[in-house]
Structure formats: structure tokens, C-alpha cells
Structure 1
């Protein structure tokens, strides 16, 4: 189906472009969300007559998104999740979790605005893109940890998983040294050989 784009769509084109898309994409996404019009002769005339108004509306929306994005860009959010010893999460962090964390601290983001290339399944600091408008993208940092103390350590740049393994290794070496010092396997005192 041929449609006239009413805003810039990544991978498809810019405002006013006539593009061919699959029928379902047009009927279920573009047309109901007023992102496009069917490319008929009548709609082309209507679009040409209203092009300046549509461009002005798009510019206002872009400016509003850029203004709200200034406070979000570079912000850091802490998410407490359960994870195994190796730092693998028992679930994953989804776009909804990211949007909820941002909204809890006063931002206004919808779940669909969060761009996750792949699900987040490990502890640590993760950068996530948030698309506030087709032309405005900001980056936020997620600090995913098992506790607030661990989140603070990660924020300082410490690798908590490596530190945990190092602590366990040092404790094991200390226990081994204690055993050797104490004469592990040696029997003190008098004993009779048979």
C-alpha cells in the first residue's frame, strides 16, 4: 500500500515522502496512529494544502521532546533485581521496567519509547536509548544490582562480580594456609605403631 508519511520514520523516509509499505503495517500501525495517509490523489492535495501546518506541528513536537530530553539525557537509574552468583539475572529487564524506573523519578516516558536492542540479563551498568521523538533520542544509564550497596559500588566503577570472586579466592587461600600451618593431616603426640 502506498502512503504519505506525516512524520519521519526511521528506515522508511521523512515527512511528505510517498512510500510503499505492507498493507498490515499501514492499516494496523501507521494509519491509526496518524503517522501516514493513504496515497490517493485527494489525500495528496490535502497534504500539499496542509504541509506547512503539519511541518509546524512536527517541529513543535520535536522541540517539546528535545526540551524534556535535556533532563533525561545522561541520567542514571538504579534497578534492584535478583541474580545468581555469576551476575546472571533470574529474569530480564524489559522496556516496561526501564519506563517505570524513569517515570518513578519524574520523567514522562512510554514503554514503546525505550529502545532495547537485546534484553538485559546481567548485573552492571547498561546504556539504553530512549526515542522521545523520531528525531530526538537520548541515552540513560541503568545500574542493575542486587542491593543498593552493590549499586553504589558499581556506580563508583567497581566490578562487583569480579570483586566477589576475588574475595572468595582470598578466603580460600587463607583457609588453605591455616590448614597447612596447623599441620593438616599430621597427628601430634604419642602414638603407637603396630
Structure 2
């Protein structure tokens, strides 16, 4: 509430210099408090707990019109990455694991196992379903700040798919590649459900 009033009605406060410091301290304290509560949660659920709590606070602040850069945004950026990587590992397993394993290799340095070669073909044929699974997972898991989280997913899948293409560029597997634009278009079409 204090944060909302400070950002929404700054004209009620005498000088910005007098209230901006305490406001930053308040948001830092909220971020610290969420992390401390997270330490008391089952280890397997810590990321989801902290992430959901941060999304709840940011969603409430956004709905009230109080949007400024704060310690909560920093915490969000950290945990949205954890959350999305964890979720991609479950629902876009091939892309996630392939890029993680091979991101520092290119062309001739790349030696693919028979399972990876099968994975290339399976990913090409199934990326649409993988994107849909990610959409469903985000929709089910993130009740607050969902559009912003989904936008981060679109950026992340674009980054991963770009790396995927760079890794395979110049190899005989080029025919198994799906253009980045197709993957982004597929992912973007679901964002309207959160708007």
C-alpha cells in the first residue's frame, strides 16, 4: 500500500529525494522477506514459491498503476529465468538439453549420437506441440503476471532456438531446422490469451 501511494501520488510527498530512498528500501525489504519465506518452503518448491510470490506482488503493483524499477524486478528477472528453464526442461526437453550440451560447439566439433539425430527430427515435427505444452504449463502454474512471464518465455525460446540453429549451421542436419520465425510465431499466437 505504501509503495502504491508513493508511486501513484508523488505530489503528496514533499520532496522526491526524501521518499525515493525509503521507497527503494521498502521494495528491497519486500524482496528479502519473500526470499526468507522461500527458505522455509520445501526445497523442491522454493523456486515456484518465490517466483509466484514475486509475480503476485508485481501483478498487484501493476494493476494499481505503481510500476517502477525496483528490487522486486531484479528478483523477478532472476526467478523467471529459473522457472522458465525448469519448465522448458520438462516440456521442451530436446531443445533445452541439446542447447545446454552443445552451445559452445559448432559444425565440425559437433558429434551427434543416434538419439540426438532422432531428437532433431522429433523436435522438427513436434515443436508446435512443445510450444503448446509450455503455454499450458505457464497458464496452469503462473496465476499472476502471466502475460509478462509468457513474453519472457517467447524471448527465451527465441534465444534457445537461435542457438540451436547456430550449433547446427554448416552441418548436414540443416534440413532438420525449423526457422526461428516459425517458432516465435507459434509461441506468440498464445500470448493473446493472457492479454
Structure with more of its chain in helix, by fraction? 2
TM-score band (shorter)? under 0.3
Give the alignment's TM-score, normalised by structure 2: 0.22
Higher relative contact order (CA 8 A, sep 6+): 2
- TM norm structure 1: 0.22
